[in-house]
Structure 1
């Protein structure tokens, strides 16, 4: 019961000094002893359970039924082939599910929350899973608590503990409190902080007293199990498509049996034909192939610094039409540097390198206030904390006022944390025998709280002239794309409450700092615009600063395209939505404004991506269609609310992610259309032969071979097609757009019909070569096998070649390039080799009822197989010619 002990007793129990924390060696030893700070994962399904789960599918039931029938009628070879296909399909499913689990685990590791701990005398950021009992954990607003902590220091600390207690109102924490009760609820333990709860205000430090399953939340986790799988919209569409094809297959089977009955055919033979048609109607490999494409796509996106947390985000990315981006760190380098400090009527240039001396006392007081009113650290050339605050601490280092030295001389005794509405932060530090409030923040808000100004080292009343001078200077700095912060102070002889700090202040001066734009952002913005995407800047900075940077980057064309938070407040929601397209820059905005901006764009039919990094950004990230959290500066809350995390906090990564998302969806669509075209060719072949009372050219085992083996490899290769840059020259895809939009349905029907007709043609050629026709009676068995072999090979090879036509809807394969997708080239070569093996290796040819073809026959089947590709190329030629004429006209 750690809450009954004082902080000193707990520190003694864990043998840790709060000023230096654990050593790296001791932390490593404790990690080995106690294990990683993680909750126990739910038990994984066994391989057997995974295997049998793959058998719960309509198609599998159809195939198993076919196997039973073939066994009953003595076709043992066919039964073995069908059961082998079922087994192979299940094994592939198990392998893919296992790979998907591994990929998700890897992504979860990349997105793991971070914690600040004091080790070896320094504050370090580590993965929360590496926190060990005895670690000194540093807390600030926006971070999740990584372990159960006995607090040893707290300043206005509030923690939202609904994850543990169900109470949504944040709890006030006091490190000095101790309790004597033998049993006390977690919500009443004000000197404790618990794993998975959230710091909403203030700061503090605590010693880790419980990690992993030894935490309060770990005890709850032991009695809970969660096993739920959410289907993405795409997967739901595919499931619906599969069901529809399954029902169509069953209906066609029933129709064929009826036709056979009236045609007085052999019912057992026609039952096998009906099964072959059912097999032809359903693309067996589609679910597995789509899962593979999504998994490979998400893994590829992680390599370009975009971690996709939810698979629907991949689909939605292709439809994004508005990217709302933070300025600092996303559009800029997030390396703030103070360039100027200004005290009344005196501007001082800060050297870029080296050190300097503040000659005037006003300047020394300004820098001192900036450094003391900061939570950042800067040691050994590395900073932790907010980039703006790091820049101010670095300013102190340059002017021989290091933060450690100042904090030792002027101990902090109270504070009022930064708030996005006030845009101010205040600390109360010892000053001689009394105390001094140091406040920094937006100069306009600072002037509202001030009554005096420091002029020539003397506080004087804040006149309209002095106020105007500061505002004019801030305006001039903002127009030069500098970010402006003001500082003020107030002396007092007692410890003030936070409510008393920010009144009656004395303004000292300003600092102008710059965060230069990222080098690659300008090109990314231009690319986004070409793709029909509108980039929008949202920032808490001054309007002039934001507009100047936006114009430099190409986001805005004029200052009139900017609007401030105050101006947004003056408009009704309807009026703001009506005018939303007029603006590209939203400055001085609060988190509530961000939600309003997202909803305004959505009301105009846009799919909106929103970036964020703070606790207060969570609502806008949730509201946006794609919430994008910053991986470096982002809080755990923003990462938890997001759909995607940028590990480099870079705007260009968002644009690359959109491109990759478009390409992934495009590839899935190519795969679907390709497989449906192939299966339609099989349906046309079988159904036409039944309806016209011809021999059926294809056996169920042959169709299974083509669907599961010959089709699968090209389909997967299409799924990883690199695509072309033209994908970012098209407007965003409509979210509800069908798989068959843009002529894709026509291509599937045309390709499938051609493949079916050519397969029948090969069958007829095989019969006619020996004087028989499709309607002939008593066709010799050897001749029938020869004709079936011709049809079998044409069907397989034409589908392989047709995969080339699917790579691009308008560009010729010669423009796209035969070897730009080496996987597809390899899949076609492999498919041809497998097809040759089936008809040339005796035991395989006997099993599939085929035999070897002559060189002349191979020439015929290859020429026939090339026809669908040639027709597709011809259609593309006329499409391009029509576009050229329209463009010229």
Structure 2
């Protein structure tokens, strides 16, 4: 009886074959249709259920529950209450504006996250593949989602395995298991005999490169090996991004400051005899003035713009908050195959006539030895020349055989050469023999046995040497030299095969007493753009750690080849298993460590150790084995071309070109985003001071209120918005990848930010605005102690002057903020359309509120006399000049002023 527990069809690798058949209750005729239906009801469809989709309602509601929107909603409700106490004072407009800000910001964030959710849903839609199944003694085609444990499945070259299975019978079966193991080279599989071993199993998601087989399905869906890793990924938690932490930290500070100031001065107002309504107006003003309402929309738009720029560089951002995280990366843990390398083997070295030739050189001097090597590589080969959708020819099959065929193709026609020699018998590659042999008839009628295989095996079977077109005795010293050469190639990370032949009379002759022809050394070459990208990372202070499923020698070779480490300390999965957490941390601190043949949970352990060391970790991967570490890393980067659904689900960024160099470009963009957000935070915070101080002054002194809540909102949501977005879209500074990564302890908003924005620029803007406010009042015979009526034209002129001064000061401020580290004069001639559009909008807004009578009441303004306008411009220049002086003089003497 089958049981429907979660472990219902997971069996140990060494289970007895007959015991497995008994537990699956199947035979050579396969399952009956009725039994298959029953099991489908029991186990469910053969689908990977990777994550729980959030409902649209949940996604939308969650956008309103963060502290920032809650604070604005509180201010909006206070404004509504004030409107009920004294209608027609504009508080209904304030409440509406605040509600609109909260809703628009929530919608922008919701739409972005919804797009990501839809994108991942499309990635994770199971691609239904047709499979050939034996049911009730008949072979039928059906959808792979209908497979159940106990099904008999027929597979062949080109198929993607749809479920975990045991091999009942096979012929020359070669499987690519790289998505599970990370090992770039395919593995040969054997049919089960007694106890089931790993090489008798097939795993869901792997690809059949060669041969055919009849298999018994043992696990489907999330109970398959790929599904279990996907389930492991679900339980891996992810920390908040540095940006989320920074904004949370900032919001908490600004909210606490607003509440404390509001409460303190609310009671001060009572103490000096102000009415409840006056104090309520003050509380609303403090909250609205101190909370930069445009900050979150600006951050969201800036990150969205950055993600769009990155998409043009072949990087899809799943969560826009991940953009900035890239900029703080200190360590990149990267896979080797396909990311650092091309994932395409080619012949690096050819050792013939007892000397080395470069396999890269297609203009090798043609000689008899090269011709014989080409013949063996072409005939001991099952690579097939076919055409793609664009009708362009390409070779498919075992990667090693494809590389050999491509090498042959450089010197002669691979297809024609195979036609000239008639194949008589093939002895397929065997894991025990470690050789492949074919017998063939030459164009002259002679019979040859051609062999390729493991170098040490083939060399030991050779008694003669083929050199310069002749056979001669292979001396013992030469045998030692060949073995040493093969060992040197292998130690340097190359895959080595030997080529040999002999004349035979029996086509089924055994490979022995052979004639040695040459050694072939293959490698998966680095992508051409990767060395420069590695160098850029090192200049930027970013460590690169290779974590691969390949063998130690291969990892060491690629690490040296790319300049990642001159003398890498390569730790194998077996060694890592024996290490304690403390030992792993110690090894990671060495700076030249790399990892080979490691398991998924070991990648996860490495990432966690790096995070415990305080590193910001970016992890790249494509296979299912990478998914847990991808999710645990600060930034997970999955491959778009060869990546699995599980890896893409776990990652934050998807590389459409699978290119390591794209990661480096993304890091540069991330650093620019951090710089730019810092710029516009300094910019938007500065206007808070001239917005807050008038309310404090209004409570403490008998003066008119210099600025209204509506005017504050017009600054925060209108005039400051476009320039802030412009700062968020500034191009990276020229030295951005020459700086070390910022420390985890560095705050986006720190005491230097407050000193610069509040105590320096903000205070200067407030002083200039108050000067203009009182200048207009005194020019119109105002006296101290007169609070004035809100309908007074003189009051509206003075309040308008206060507002216009802030706007002009912010024009000077935005130009100064373009360069926080260096003089902004360098940026004056670097065009930024957003900033220019923002300045034009500010000037148009000033014109509208001072020249349109219908807006006077809304914005508390009136026409401003001509003689004041040069003073507004002067205020703008004073702010710009003051900040330039800060950068030029003060930063050299007082680090408190350095940004």
TM-score normalised to structure 1 length: 0.70
- Structure-2 change in CA distance of 1:314 and 1:114 (3 Å): farther
Q: Is the 8 A contact 2:823 2:888 kept in 1?
A: yes
Match for residue 318 of structure 1 among 327, 334, 354: 327
- Paired residues, number: 787
- Structure-2 change in CA distance of 1:505 and 1:282 (3 Å): farther
- Structure-2 change in CA distance of 1:392 and 1:132 (3 Å): farther
Matching residue of 2:402: 390
Write the deviation string for residues 22-51 of structure 1: whole angstroms up to 9, x where unpaired: xxxxxxxxxxxxxx9999996963799679
Name the SS of the counterpart of 2:347 in structure 1. Answer: strand
Name the SS of the counterpart of 1:371 in structure 2. Answer: coil
Does residue 823 (structure 1) correspond to residue 834 (structure 2)? The answer is yes
Matching residue of 1:748: 757
CA-CA distance at 1:802 after TM superposition: 1.2
Write the deviation string for residues 199-256 of structure 1: whole angstroms up to 9, x where unpaired: 499988899xxxxxx9999xxx9xxx99x99964423442443344334323322222
Distance (whole Å) between structure 1 residues aligned to residue 363 and residue 128 of structure 2: 32
CA-CA distance at 1:732 after TM superposition: 0.5
Matching residue of 2:262: 253
Matching residue of 2:290: 281
Q: Is the 8 A contact 2:176 2:208 kept in 1?
A: yes
Match for residue 589 of structure 1 among 590, 596, 599: 596
Write the mapping of 1:830-869 to structure 2, written as runs, cut at 5 A: 830-869=841-880
Match for residue 726 of structure 1 among 735, 746, 758: 735
Matching residue of 1:689: 698
- Structure-2 change in CA distance of 1:349 and 1:534 (3 Å): closer
Distance (whole Å) between structure 2 residues aligned to residue 792 and residue 4 of structure 1: 86
Name the SS of the counterpart of 2:56 in structure 1. Answer: coil
CA-CA distance at 1:591 after TM superposition: 2.7
Distance (whole Å) between structure 1 residues aligned to residue 861 and residue 571 of structure 2: 75
- Structure-2 change in CA distance of 1:643 and 1:306 (3 Å): same
Distance (whole Å) between structure 1 residues aligned to residue 617 and residue 716 of structure 2: 39
Write the deviation string for residues 708-753 of structure 1: whole angstroms up to 9, x where unpaired: 2222222222222213122122110112321135933322222222
Q: Is the 8 A contact 1:151 1:175 kept in 2?
A: yes
- Structure-2 change in CA distance of 1:614 and 1:782 (3 Å): closer
Write the mapping of 1:204-219 to structure 2, written as runs, cut at 5 A: none
CA-CA distance at 1:820 after TM superposition: 2.9
Unaligned runs of 5+ in 2: 1-25, 34-46, 132-142, 148-152, 181-187, 193-199, 215-220, 225-229, 441-448, 503-512
Matching residue of 2:87: 74
Distance (whole Å) between structure 2 residues aligned to residue 216 and residue 596 of structure 1: 23
Write the deviation string for residues 135-178 of structure 1: whole angstroms up to 9, x where unpaired: 9997889x785999x9998958899999xxxxxxxxx99999xx
Distance (whole Å) between structure 2 residues aligned to residue 733 and residue 698 of structure 1: 39
Match for residue 661 of structure 1 among 665, 670, 675: 670
Does residue 64 (structure 1) correspond to residue 85 (structure 2)? The answer is no
Distance (whole Å) between structure 2 residues aligned to residue 37 and residue 782 of structure 1: 71
- Structure-2 change in CA distance of 1:109 and 1:874 (3 Å): farther
Write the deviation string for residues 448-483 of structure 1: whole angstroms up to 9, x where unpaired: 89864474599999978625423325637988xx94
Matching residue of 2:772: 762
Match for residue 393 of structure 2 among 363, 374, 381: 381
- Structure-2 change in CA distance of 1:92 and 1:739 (3 Å): closer
Distance (whole Å) between structure 2 residues aligned to residue 260 and residue 310 of structure 1: 46
CA-CA distance at 1:758 after TM superposition: 2.1
- Structure-2 change in CA distance of 1:355 and 1:87 (3 Å): farther
- Structure-2 change in CA distance of 1:160 and 1:400 (3 Å): closer
Does residue 787 (structure 1) correspond to residue 798 (structure 2)? The answer is yes
Write the mapping of 1:867-878 to structure 2, written as runs, cut at 5 A: 867-878=878-889
**Larger mean Cα displacement after TM superposition, 241-250 or 795-804:** 241-250
Q: Is the 8 A contact 2:711 2:803 kept in 1?
A: yes
CA-CA distance at 1:826 after TM superposition: 1.2
TM-score normalised to structure 2 length: 0.70
Unaligned runs of 5+ in 1: 11-35, 119-129, 163-171, 177-190, 208-213, 417-423, 492-503, 885-889
**Larger mean Cα displacement after TM superposition, 316-325 or 782-791:** 316-325
Matching residue of 1:101: 114
- Structure-2 change in CA distance of 1:817 and 1:329 (3 Å): farther
Match for residue 99 of structure 2 among 63, 86, 89: 86
Name the SS of the counterpart of 1:485 in structure 2. Answer: strand
CA-CA distance at 1:512 after TM superposition: 2.9
Distance (whole Å) between structure 1 residues aligned to residue 603 and residue 699 of structure 2: 63
Distance (whole Å) between structure 2 residues aligned to residue 490 and residue 742 of structure 1: 77
CA-CA distance at 1:851 after TM superposition: 0.9
Distance (whole Å) between structure 1 residues aligned to residue 629 and residue 100 of structure 2: 48
Distance (whole Å) between structure 1 residues aligned to residue 144 and residue 850 of structure 2: 62
Q: Is the 8 A contact 1:323 1:610 kept in 2?
A: yes
CA-CA distance at 1:391 after TM superposition: 1.5
**Larger mean Cα displacement after TM superposition, 689-698 or 45-54:** 45-54
CA-CA distance at 1:808 after TM superposition: 1.8
Distance (whole Å) between structure 2 residues aligned to residue 545 and residue 54 of structure 1: 48
Distance (whole Å) between structure 2 residues aligned to residue 290 and residue 851 of structure 1: 34
Does residue 677 (structure 1) correspond to residue 686 (structure 2)? The answer is yes
Write the deviation string for residues 648-678 of structure 1: whole angstroms up to 9, x where unpaired: 2333222211111111122222233322222
Write the deviation string for residues 836-867 of structure 1: whole angstroms up to 9, x where unpaired: 21232222222222112122222222322433
- Structure-2 change in CA distance of 1:609 and 1:758 (3 Å): same
**Larger mean Cα displacement after TM superposition, 249-258 or 590-599:** 590-599
Distance (whole Å) between structure 2 residues aligned to residue 465 and residue 74 of structure 1: 104
Distance (whole Å) between structure 2 residues aligned to residue 158 and residue 516 of structure 1: 19
Match for residue 301 of structure 2 among 271, 279, 292: 292
Name the SS of the counterpart of 2:381 in structure 1. Answer: helix
RMSD: 6.1
- Structure-2 change in CA distance of 1:361 and 1:819 (3 Å): closer
- Structure-2 change in CA distance of 1:800 and 1:506 (3 Å): farther
Distance (whole Å) between structure 1 residues aligned to residue 369 and residue 692 of structure 2: 89
- Structure-2 change in CA distance of 1:159 and 1:52 (3 Å): closer
Matching residue of 1:305: 314
Match for residue 802 of structure 1 among 801, 809, 813: 813
Matching residue of 1:180: none
Name the SS of the counterpart of 2:889 in structure 1. Answer: helix
- Structure-2 change in CA distance of 1:137 and 1:376 (3 Å): farther
Distance (whole Å) between structure 2 residues aligned to residue 512 and residue 161 of structure 1: 25
Does residue 649 (structure 1) correspond to residue 658 (structure 2)? The answer is yes
Name the SS of the counterpart of 1:725 in structure 2. Answer: coil
Q: Is the 8 A contact 2:345 2:400 kept in 1?
A: yes
Name the SS of the counterpart of 1:867 in structure 2. Answer: helix
Write the mapping of 1:424-823 to structure 2, written as runs, cut at 5 A: 447=456, 452-453=461-462, 455-456=464-465, 466-472=479-485, 475=488, 483-487=494-498, 510-513=519-522, 518-535=527-544, 540=550, 550=560, 555=564, 561-565=567-571, 569=575, 584=592, 586=594, 589-591=596-598, 605-614=614-623, 621=630, 625-634=634-643, 638-640=647-649, 642-741=651-750, 743-749=752-758, 750-776=760-786, 781-823=792-834
Q: Is the 8 A contact 1:318 1:665 kept in 2?
A: yes
CA-CA distance at 1:399 after TM superposition: 5.9
Q: Is the 8 A contact 2:464 2:515 kept in 1?
A: no
Write the deviation string for residues 789-832 of structure 1: whole angstroms up to 9, x where unpaired: 11111123322331222222122221122543221121122122
- Structure-2 change in CA distance of 1:229 and 1:654 (3 Å): closer
- Structure-2 change in CA distance of 1:295 and 1:346 (3 Å): same
Does residue 338 (structure 1) correspond to residue 351 (structure 2)? The answer is no
- Structure-2 change in CA distance of 1:617 and 1:510 (3 Å): farther
